Amino acid sequence: MKKLRIAIMAGALVACHVANATLTWSGSVGGAPTGVNLVNFDDLTPGTVNNVLASGPNGSVTVTTTPDAMAVQGTTEKYAAPYLSGGNGTGFGNGDGPDATTYLTSGMNSGSYPNAKVTLTFGSLQQYFGLLWGSVDSYNTLSFYNGNTLVGTLTGSQVLASPTGDQGVNGTVYVNINSTLPFDTVVATSSQYAFEFDNVAYNTTTVPEPTTMIAGALLLLPFGASTLRILRKRTA
């Protein structure tokens, strides 16, 4: 069987608005969610979405998109379907291969659409969030809020060592994120086309990662940054 090099990265982020607010994350190609509540967006109609409750298989979240973000299917010159692998779509009703169901794209928040974004709003405070992050790019950004207060952010370049927007199996990563402070809103943005994701998981408490998933750390302080990145190989 062909060996694949998979970069697994974990990290931590201290938000500027709240002292000691920390995000920790890890992700891998073919990885799976560790949270218990799952949403697959399959009940959304492709096109612009505004304050629509997405549900299933056993969770729900309110989805709001600002042009040119939207719920979509397939691949075009502006967005590409995430790629499922390692059986990580099983709990969401997907098989391996390009995502054939509805997923979300952020569009590009510049030019004609400076406010383009996907906003996910939960009915209660959460401390874990997972997502199938498709064709990861360095300019993709996730922002976590508690009300109007920023808890922390995570970018594609923190998830993968060298994100290239690969639309194949090695470009999609399942990312599990824990926060020491609760959040009720997650916002996806991208300064270029595009940030595509599907198969969200969430949990009201943090979910410990398997020890094999923990590979490194990244700490961002309000007035500076220090980094520690460790990459681990996995064969398949």
| CATH for the stretch 17-206 | 2.60.120
**What single string gives the DSSP state of each residue in 142-166?**
EEEEETTEEEEEEEHHHHSSS----
The tens-digit pLDDT sequence of the chain (236 residues) is: 433 434 444 554 433 344 345 899 999 999 999 999 999 999 999 999 999 999 999 999 999 999 999 999 999 999 999 999 999 999 999 999 999 999 999 999 999 999 999 999 999 999 999 999 999 999 999 999 999 999 999 999 999 989 999 999 999 999 999 999 999 999 999 999 999 999 999 999 999 875 433 333 333 333 233 322 323 323 23
Q: Which residue bears the tokens 């809020």?
A: 145
Residue 14 has what pLDDT? 38
- What does the pLDDT read at residue 21? 58
What is the token pair recorded at 26? 């890890």
> What letter does residue 209 receive in the DSSP assignment?
P
Residue 210: CB partners within 8 Å, gap ≥ 6? 34
Q: What does the block give as tokens for 30?
A: 């073919």
Segments making up each domain of the chain, as ranges: 17-206
Name the token pair of 44. Answer: 């959304």
CA distance 6 to 215: 12
Q: What was the pLDDT predicted at 7? A: 42
| pLDDT at position 216 | 35
CA separation for the pair 188, 176 (Å, rounded)? 15
Residue 91 CA to residue 57 CA, distance in Å, equals 8
Residue 79 neighbours by CB distance under 10 Å: 27
pTM: predicted TM-score of the whole model, two decimal places: 0.83
